[in-house]
Amino acid sequence: MLLRLGSGEASFVDFRETAPLGASRDMYLDSLGNVIKGMSTLGAMAAGVPGTVAGLYKAHELHGSLPWRELVEPAISLARDGFPVSERLASSLRELQEYKGRFPGLLQFMKSDGTPLAPGDTLRQPILARTLERIALDGPDAFYRGAIAESIVEEMRLGGGIVSKRDLAGYEARIREPLRGSYRGYEIVSAPPPSSGGAVLIEILNILEGYDLRGMGFMSDQTIHYMVEAERRAYADRAQFLGDPDFTDNRLPRLISKEYAADLRKSITPRATPSSELSAGPGTSREKRETTHYGVVDREGAAVAVTYTLNDSFGSRVVVRGAGFLLNNEMDDFAIKPGHPNLYGLVGSEANAIEPGKRMLSSMAPTMALRDGKLFLVLGTPGGATIITTIAQILIDMLDFGMSLEAAVSAPRFHHQWLPDHISAENGAFGAYLRRSLVEKGHRIEDRTAPIGDAQAIEVRGSAACGMSDPRGDGQPGGVEPAEPGPR
């Protein structure tokens, strides 16, 4: 959670999961050193020690103005009284059918006969409502030490996982300095490690600042080429250098410096640089998307940008019995073996190897942009590896191409993450002519049917805050009617 108070002071609440104390570097490898398929993604062994309850409480404790109980109440009502299932949710609930045999806890998201809920049906979660009531009453202690902790540990015993009482009691949300950079006169404030989000975003923008993107034109072959080359280099650095700052020297000052970006620009030519020339390593892509992002600006000008996640769709698929919530499969965000691609095709090395108590690297990038010290934009998205490039594109579309918030959030997206060495493009993002000239420059293009990201953004103009939810998702701007927006 990136947060900025009305006074302008910014801070960052890191409530990333941690590896359990019983975790070890090769825990997902067999005796021959091969990755055991599905072990870091399905079942109790995939779960990191959850951080959400501690993180949200920490933000409340430090900066909140309403009583904790009142803050949890809307979630309790949604769980107890239910809400109508949307088309998109229905389709993701249908995908759960194949897992219900192995993970019977998932039946709580289905009709009583085990068939999938249809659009318009009501999804009620009475057990989760009771869990939330406990959290409302006793705060994080209920979750990390009390009855809920007992349920988690019991679920671990039944499912062969290793999250222990000690892990839960020892979990702490951390306050960190947000990462800062700049782009064309705007200050960019974003997520520090253990997310790679801010660092990779700032590195991409620093490289691109040296090119006249506006002169090259929105979505022109040249603009896309330079954006892709910047993305390729920044993601290669992510794979090599980034990990939990409590365990790894991230070399951040250099990675996000303008000088380093200038050095990298020297290696960029009018032709695609094969990713294999930047550093060697295998990579494949398999994109999934299940993460939540929201932003809020209040009347005092305080703002938060929050991204949080179970990682994959429905996480490890394990529902904690008697507590009604899903466990994450965030352990897969570690480099479970050097060079082995995670769910998002991302590879990593030593810096992001598993160690007890360590936080796995993330791509989450809750971000704010400021102009002359004044809040201008609050921004974020889900999308795994594509989170960072989605944020970069929205910023570039607005700051280089002068697009409106609506147009920038709606614009077609493309993504390059070093490995696999291809541009992943949304359906219809590239026309035939553009495609040909990118291929002539040496790029490979992979079309994807699933959309990239689900961005949520707020633009502050004068005393008005205007929200925009990605047309790709189910989100909606909420809150009070904005005042007449001032000029940009």
**Any contact of residue 363 with ligand DON (CB under 6 A)?**
yes
Least separation, in Å, of the C-beta of 374 and ligand DON?
29
Q: Tell me the two tokens of residue 27.
A: 């825990």
Q: Is 291 a catalytic residue?
A: yes
**Residue ranges of the alpha helices (H) in 192-243?**
197-208, 213-216, 221-241
Stretch that binds ligand DON, among 183-191, 215-223, 378-386, 410-418 (CB under 6 A): 378-386
Q: Lay out the site mask for ligand DON across 415-444 (x = CB under 6 A, - = otherwise).
A: ------------------------------
Alpha-carbon gap, residue 277 to 419, rounded angstroms: 11
Question: Does position 291 bind ligand DON by CB under 6 A?
Answer: yes
To ligand DON, the closest distance from the beta carbon of 394 in angstroms equals 16
Binding footprint of ligand DON, residue count (CB under 6 A): 14
Q: 147: which 2 tokens?
A: 């009855």
- Strand ranges of the sheet holding 464-469, from the earlier edge strand across to the other edge: 179-183, 186-190, 367-371, 374-380, 456-461, 464-469
- Residue 177 in tokens: 């300095």
The 8 Å CB, 24+ separation contacts for 77-83 are 79/124, 79/125, 79/126, 79/128, 79/129, 79/132, 79/324, 80/124, 80/125, 80/126, 80/129, 81/124, 82/122, 82/123, 82/124, 82/125, 83/122, 83/123
Instruction: Considering the complex, state which of residue 335 and residue 465 has its C-beta at the smaller distance from ligand DON.
Output: 335
Q: Which of 139, 384, 467, 482 binds ligand DON (CB under 6 A)?
A: 384
Q: Find the shortest distance in angstroms from Cβ 198 to ligand DON.
A: 12
Residue 275 binds ligand DON (CB under 6 A)? no
Exactly one of 225, 238, 289, 340 binds ligand DON (CB under 6 A); which one? 289
Which of 125, 362, 390, 393 touches ligand DON (CB under 6 A)? 362
Instruction: Pick the binder of ligand DON from 192, 243, 380, 382 (CB under 6 A).
Output: 382
Largest CA distance in the chain: 65
Distance set, CA 97 to CA 94, 117, 123, 374 (Å): 6, 11, 16, 48
Question: Of the ranges 102-110, 226-234, 289-297, 480-488, which one interacts with ligand DON (CB under 6 A)?
Answer: 289-297
Residue 384 CB, nearest distance to ligand DON (Å)? 4
In Å, what is the CA distance from 405 to each residue of 120, 410, 459, 463, 488? 31, 8, 7, 17, 11
Residue with the two structure tokens 């409502």 = 129
Q: Does 190 bind ligand DON (CB under 6 A)?
A: no
Give the three-state DSSP class for 92.
helix
DSSP string, 141-163: HHHHTSHHHHHHHHHHHHHT---
Joined together, the tokens standing for residue 162 give: 């290793």
**Residue 452 contacts ligand DON per CB under 6 A:** no
Secondary structure percentages of the chain, helix, strand, coil, to 5: 35, 15, 45
Q: 7 vs 449, which CB is nearer to ligand DON?
A: 449
Q: Does 383 bind ligand DON (CB under 6 A)?
A: yes
Give the nearest distance from C-beta 359 to ligand DON in angstroms: 10
**Which residue type does 343 have?**
L
With CB under 6 A as the contact rule, which of the stretches 132-140, 207-215, 248-256, 357-365 interacts with ligand DON? Answer: 357-365
| Ranges of H-type helices in 209-358 | 213-216, 221-241, 252-255, 258-266, 275-278
17 binds ligand DON (CB under 6 A): no
Residues 301-320 that bind ligand DON (CB under 6 A): 309, 311
Name which of 41 and 223 has its Cβ closer to ligand DON.
41
Query: Under rule CB under 6 A, which residues in 330-349 are in contact with ligand DON?
Result: 330, 333
Nearer to ligand DON by C-beta: 179 or 460? 179
Q: How far is the CB of 481 from ligand DON (least distance, A)?
A: 30
Q: Of the residues 291, 307, 381, 389, which is catalytic?
A: 291
Of 128, 364, 409, 460, which one interacts with ligand DON (CB under 6 A)?
A: 364
> Could you say which DSSP state residue 118 is in?
P
Q: How far apart (Å, rounded) are the C-alpha atoms in residues 219 and 113?
A: 49
Which strand (E) or helix (H) includes residue 58?
A: helix 52-63
Q: Which is nearer to ligand DON, 223 or 307 (CB)?
A: 307
The catalytic residue positions are 291
Chain residues binding ligand DON by CB under 6 A are 289-291, 309, 311, 330, 333, 362-364, 382-384, 387
